[in-house]
Structure 1
Amino acid sequence: MTVPEPLPVNGDAHLALARDSLRELLDDKRVPPPVRAALAEEYQQLQVLLDKIEHGHVHIAVFGRVSVGKSALLNALLGAMRFSTSPLHGETTRADHARWQEYDAGGVFLIDTPGINEVAGEAREQLAHDVATRSDLVMFVVDGDITDTELKALRQVKGVAQRLVLVLNKIDRYTRADRELLLQTLRERTEGLIQPQDIVIAAAQPTERIVILVDADGNETETRRCPPADVTALRERIWDILKAEGKTMAALNAGLFAGRFSDRLSREIITIRHDVADKIVRNYCLGKGVAVALNPIPVADILAAVATDAAMILHLSRVYGLPISRTEAGSLLKTIFTQLVFLMGTVWGMNLVASALKGISLGLSTVVTAGAQGAVAWYGTYVVGRAAEQYFAQGKSWGEGGPKRAVQDILDSLDRESLLAQARDDILARLKPLL
């Protein structure tokens, strides 16, 4: 058989785009160190993909149930016993790979994986999923009519794999008529998942056959022989795919992985920023609540509270990588505060009353009143912080509903009584040693 020509050059532009995309993700200095630490494994996979593209490698993985002949199929393609085979279930326990030197000067790697129905299958199915996301072509192997379990796994692999070929292995066990019936059934059951031309047959490790030898005198001798492997149809189909789509296929696979990584990166950054922002807001809430509770001058503590909220907004802007000036922070606070006054007029009225009462109260009543005053201030700062965080998380935008809708949604989502009780307890715990 003639070895096909090298991969076409018309995929070079696609590979260059994929390579630039991977490098940009790897070299992005804006990613916070905690996010890089949380995604260390994904970053390592990105580097592997980048190395693969730069060296012009193509990865082909094999999937299937235990003992359908995955390892034997790869050995037959390689023409050597590179992968372990055994009549025992579960011989392949981890992903393994070998260079397929017969094609494109060894730029293609064949990857073996554990069976999808192995014991402790969840971990191994995850391994299979991970390999599929990094493979350019996947061979899904069956040895008969596809089962419901296999069909489910095929759909899962289809969701992450760039290119799929379905292999009906062990065809030596079937008559010609049964073989044709099986192929027709596979085409029908995988319609919409696998193209008919991508369903091929193979006999990776034919079973021994009894052969009767007759000598010149007519004497018969019975012996056993193993027919040679037959993977011609599979080899030719793989070569056709690599020749037509090789570099573009590798580029698309890298692009898909980069896209999934970007989504994961965005979610991780949002989560970490939210966690940091939540701690900042709560620290400012407590600081403001205690400061308001301790200030004995009626109404004047409200002015100090405004400065606290403005400082919190400045801090939050830096967390989200959108730093603003003090003037902008004051303007944003004014916008939020205006909506709070409109939506919480009664609460803020109580705030002023408590402030006045605090100046004439004595003893325990002062502590209780101060705690109530501080709790309201704590709650107000919490709402301001949540609103400001949402504004920065949306890229310094209130969204279609504007600030009024944003603040209203935040108020509706909060358990006011629970938050006020928590604030009061935190503030009183700080106040008691001081009063």
Structure 2
Amino acid sequence: DGGLYLIDTPGINEVEGEERERMAHEVASRADLVLFVVDSDLTDVELKALRMVTNTLRPTLLVVNKADRYTETEQRQLRAILRERTHGLIAPENLIFTTSRPTRQVVIQVDENGEEQENLRVRPVEVQALKTRLWDILEAEGKTLSALNASLFAGNLSSEIGQRVLEVKQELGQRTIRFYCLAKGVAVALNPIPVADILAAIALDVTMIVHLSRLYGLPMSRTEAGELIRTIISHMLLLVGITWAINLASSALKLGTGGLSTILTGATQGAVAWYSTLVIGNVAERWLANGKSWGDSGPKFVVQQIIDSLDRDSVVSEAREEIMSYLKKTIKNQTG
């Protein structure tokens, strides 16, 4: 009752790679049935696109057009080659040969006087095999195809919505992590006692992870958050021990000045704390986004990925500048 609609797309070889993949996926995800048209053996590009289309679970016909260019023997050979190359992708009955726009054929006729005359003859259009197969599919599976397409479309829509929700959570998560990076950096910079630095750092990291867990709808207790932090830090110590050496050196400098630090020293210490919270926050967010799972590779791999994605020197430098700016404004407001 809804009618039959045809969507024609540019040839696979007429568009660039990314656009081709997007187009193939987009069209296939909206169609009940796909006609994949070629005029010879499949190129690597066409075979890749065909795999992409069949992966959408839509029924697909492989149509070889311009069949009139081949002799019967050549058609049999081409059919055998295509069946072998598309095994598992295209059912044998869904490999169809057609001639939608026949080529003109030169026919030489000899008249009664023995003179030759050339005439052009147009071969007949040959699409009956395709029509028959389409009708067979529509009669046997028409309602099933529509239902299948509707369910797959709903599934795609659900996936798209889920992906968008995840993106929003990640955006909010990054804002949350940045907030705690600044809070921890300033707290450490202002606190002249190294032991108190550590206590403040741990407390803020725990609070950050509890906050992130609620954002992802997977609430954690402070005890659970503390255990997660211990797991992350243990791998950080193995992977970036130098960062913690800088942290300890800065703490020692504070002790050497009787627990009193300059703005620069405090900001440097705070910047290192900022970096550690940035790593911890991103690792925790990755773990939460994956449903409280490290995946097959384990926590060390995730920590390594996050560390590799960050330019430590740039992060520490920018963090130090921001902390110094914050401290100077605070001092100015207090003295003003």
> Normalised by the size of structure 2, how large is the TM-score?
0.69
Does structure 1 residue 385 correspond to structure 2 residue 281? yes
Q: Over residues 211-237 of structure 1, what are the superposed CA-to-partner deviations in whole Å (9 max), with x where a residue is unaligned?
A: 99xxxxxxxx99877565332221111
3-state secondary structure, aligned to 2:5: strand
- Correspondences of 1:300-315 after superposition (within 5 Å): 304-315=200-211
8 Å CA contact 2:193–2:259 kept in 1: the answer is no
Higher RCO, 1 or 2 (CA under 8 Å, sep at least 6)?
A: 1
Does structure 1 residue 332 correspond to structure 2 residue 332? no
8 Å CA contact 2:294–2:302 kept in 1: the answer is no
Structure 1 counterpart of 2:89, which letter?
A: L
Specify which of 122, 126, 139 is matched with residue 243 of structure 1. Answer: 139
**Hey, what does 1:410 align to over in structure 2?**
303
**Hey, what does 2:36 align to over in structure 1?**
140
Residues 197 and 305 (structure 1), Cα distance of their counterparts in 2 relative to 1, 3 Å cut:
closer
Identity %: 47
Instruction: Give structure 2 stretches of 5+ with no counterpart.
Output: 109-116
Distance 1:201 1:341 in 2: 64
Q: Over residues 90-120 of structure 1, what are the superposed CA-to-partner deviations in whole Å (9 max), with x where a residue is unaligned?
A: xxxxxxxxxxxxxxx5632222222222266
Residues 335 and 190 (structure 1), Cα distance of their counterparts in 2 relative to 1, 3 Å cut:
closer
Residues 354 and 123 (structure 1), Cα distance of their counterparts in 2 relative to 1, 3 Å cut:
same
Distance 2:200 2:63 in 1: 73
- Correspondences of 1:20-31 after superposition (within 5 Å): none
Q: Over residues 95-151 of structure 1, what are the superposed CA-to-partner deviations in whole Å (9 max), with x where a residue is unaligned?
A: xxxxxxxxxx56322222222222668646643442122222222233455555544
Distance 2:10 2:305 in 1: 50
8 Å CA contact 1:376–1:420 kept in 2: the answer is yes
Displacement after TM superposition at 1:399 (Å): 7.2
- Correspondences of 1:393-432 after superposition (within 5 Å): 393-396=289-292, 406=299, 410=303, 414=307, 418=313, 419-432=315-328
Aligned length: 314
Distance 1:246 1:161 in 2: 15
RMSD of aligned Cα (Å): 4.5
Distance 1:349 1:416 in 2: 21
Residues 130 and 258 (structure 1), Cα distance of their counterparts in 2 relative to 1, 3 Å cut:
same
Residues 282 and 182 (structure 1), Cα distance of their counterparts in 2 relative to 1, 3 Å cut:
closer
- Correspondences of 1:206-245 after superposition (within 5 Å): 206-207=102-103, 229-245=125-141
Distance 1:206 1:119 in 2: 26
3-state secondary structure, aligned to 1:112: coil
Displacement after TM superposition at 1:317 (Å): 2.4
Which structure carries more helix by proportion? 2
**Hey, what does 1:17 align to over in structure 2?**
none
Q: Which moved more, 1:131-140 or 1:267-276?
A: 267-276
Specify which of 84, 90, 107 is matched with residue 3 of structure 2. Answer: 107
Instruction: Give structure 1 stretches of 5+ with no counterpart.
Output: 1-104, 213-220
Does structure 1 residue 321 correspond to structure 2 residue 217? yes
**Hey, what does 1:274 align to over in structure 2?**
170
> Normalised by the size of structure 1, how large is the TM-score?
0.56
8 Å CA contact 2:68–2:99 kept in 1: the answer is yes
